[in-house]
């Protein structure tokens, strides 16, 4: 099978129009792409046109610039290939995604910091605004940016005994308006205000109670349950489903599109504050101590 490396993403060339003409594909599931270090594994079921994207950046799938870029490129390719559905999950045991890589924001190179933020905006615009039906199969902890990825999806299925939430205030930082809007769209204004101001990390069961996640199933059933739910989305006439989603999300998407550079500047100015750097440093220290105690 011929392969092509594009900015760290390996694409199987032997799969033209993979998702638009599923009937001509003989193989049921093919690896469409994987990143250079296999940080992102994307398989497409050629019968259904459903992609499964597994994040695989141990130890905690934290989102650094390169990883975000890989996710963004993969989303663009899936959209271009007219894939119909996406299941977003993790290949790292017990972790869905630990959110943004704090090392990108602590003592940063200011140029890279801005590129980093744009890459996060790109991922959000592509995932939140995706035409595909998207389901988060949350098979591990999902703080902050991890919660953002999950809430960008159309539906969330989570395994028990994990945590999820936008905990930014606990780090002394503030989630931007598009994180807020995304969460608001899922759990409403009041619960979002409560969640954001206190930086609440919800247990799986609490998350189900406030409808931050839609369904809880045992760990080994998370992906099968996502595949089952996906069938329901795929039964709906494609254009009607896509336009309905667009109707719900367009305003929120446009808000960021119009303010992208202001948002980058606001992030940069906030991140380089002495008080913010101090908070991030202390938080990293706490994480390190906790990690060392386990060893
Ligand atoms: C500056 C302006 C900001 C504007 C707003 C920006 C919006 C921000 C969004 C974010 O996403 S900020 C990131 C918030 N994330 C977290 O608070 C998660 C922190 N991590 C954890 O709670 C736990 O690690 C975990 C995810 C629950 C996993 O726990 P586990 O016990 O399995 O692993 P650990 O031993 O804690 O961690 C292993 C290893 O990984 C390092 N690490 C963990 N999370 C991050 C991270 N987000 N970024 C970078 N590194 C992380 C941790 O320090 C350990 O490292 P070592 O000590 O082993 O080297």
For the chain, how many structural domains are there in total? Answer: 1
Reported as a single tens digit per residue, the pLDDT across 239-285 is: 999 999 999 999 999 999 999 999 999 999 999 999 999 999 999 99
**pLDDT at residue number 33:** 62
Does residue 287 have its Cβ closer than 6 Å to ligand 1?
A: yes
Ligand 1 lined by 102 (C-beta under 6 Å): yes
| Cβ–Cβ under 8 Å, residues 119 and 154 | no
In a domain, 12, yes or no: no
Tell me, using a 6 A CB cutoff, whether residue 141 lines ligand 1. yes
pLDDT in the model for residue 7: 35
- Regarding an ipTM greater than 0.90, the answer is yes
In a domain, 148, yes or no: yes
Handedness of CA 140, 144, 145, 147 (dihedral sign): positive
Cβ atoms within 10 Å, residue 118: 19
Is residue 234 domain-resident?
yes
Is 41 annotated in the active site? no
Q: Cα–Cα distance between 200 and 192 in angstroms, integer? A: 10
C-alpha triplet 125, 212, 137: angle, nearest 5°: 70
Q: Which domain holds residue 87?
A: 40-294
166 assigned to some structural domain = yes
Domain-embedded: residue 235: yes
Residue 165 lies in a domain: yes
Report the percent of the chain where pLDDT is more than 90: 86
pTM (whole model) above 0.80: yes
Contacts of 191 (CB under 8 A, 6+ apart): 210
For residue 171, which atom of ligand 1 is closest to its CA?
17
Instruction: Give the CATH number for residue 104.
Output: 3.90.226.10
Asked if 80 is an active-site residue, the reply is no
């Amino acid at each position: 099978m011929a392969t092509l490396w594009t900015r760290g993403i390996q694409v199987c060339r032997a799969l033209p129009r993979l998702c638009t003409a599923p009937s001509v594909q003989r193989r049921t599931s093919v690896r469409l792409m994987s990143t250079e270090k296999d940080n992102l594994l994307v398989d497409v079921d050629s019968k259904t046109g459903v992609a499964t994207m597994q994040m695989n950046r141990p130890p905690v799938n934290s989102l650094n610039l390169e990883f975000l870029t890989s996710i963004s490129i993969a989303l663009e390719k899936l959209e271009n290939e007219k894939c119909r559905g996406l299941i977003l999950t993790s290949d790292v045991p017990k972790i869905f995604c630990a959110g943004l890589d704090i090392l990108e924001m602590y003592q940063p190179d200011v140029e890279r910091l801005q590129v980093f933020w744009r890459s996060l905006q790109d991922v959000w615009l592509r995932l939140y605004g995706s035409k595909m039906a998207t389901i988060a199969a949350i098979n591990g902890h999902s703080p902050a940016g991890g919660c953002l990825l999950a809430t960008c999806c159309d539906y969330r299925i989570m395994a028990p005994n994990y945590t999820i939430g936008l905990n930014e205030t606990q780090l002394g930082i503030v989630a931007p308006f598009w994180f807020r809007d995304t969460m608001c769209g899922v759990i409403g204004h009041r619960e979002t205000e409560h969640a954001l101001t206190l930086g609440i990390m919800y247990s799986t069961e609490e998350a189900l109670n406030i409808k931050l996640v839609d369904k809880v199933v045992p760990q080994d059933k998370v992906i099968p349950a996502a595949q089952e739910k996906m069938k329901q989305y795929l039964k709906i006439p494609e254009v009607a489903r896509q336009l309905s989603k667009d109707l719900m999300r367009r305003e929120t998407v446009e808000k960021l599109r119009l303010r992208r550079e202001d948002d980058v500047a606001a992030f940069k100015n906030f991140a380089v504050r002495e008080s913010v750097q101090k908070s991030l440093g202390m938080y990293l220290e706490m994480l390190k101590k906790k990690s060392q105690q386990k060893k």
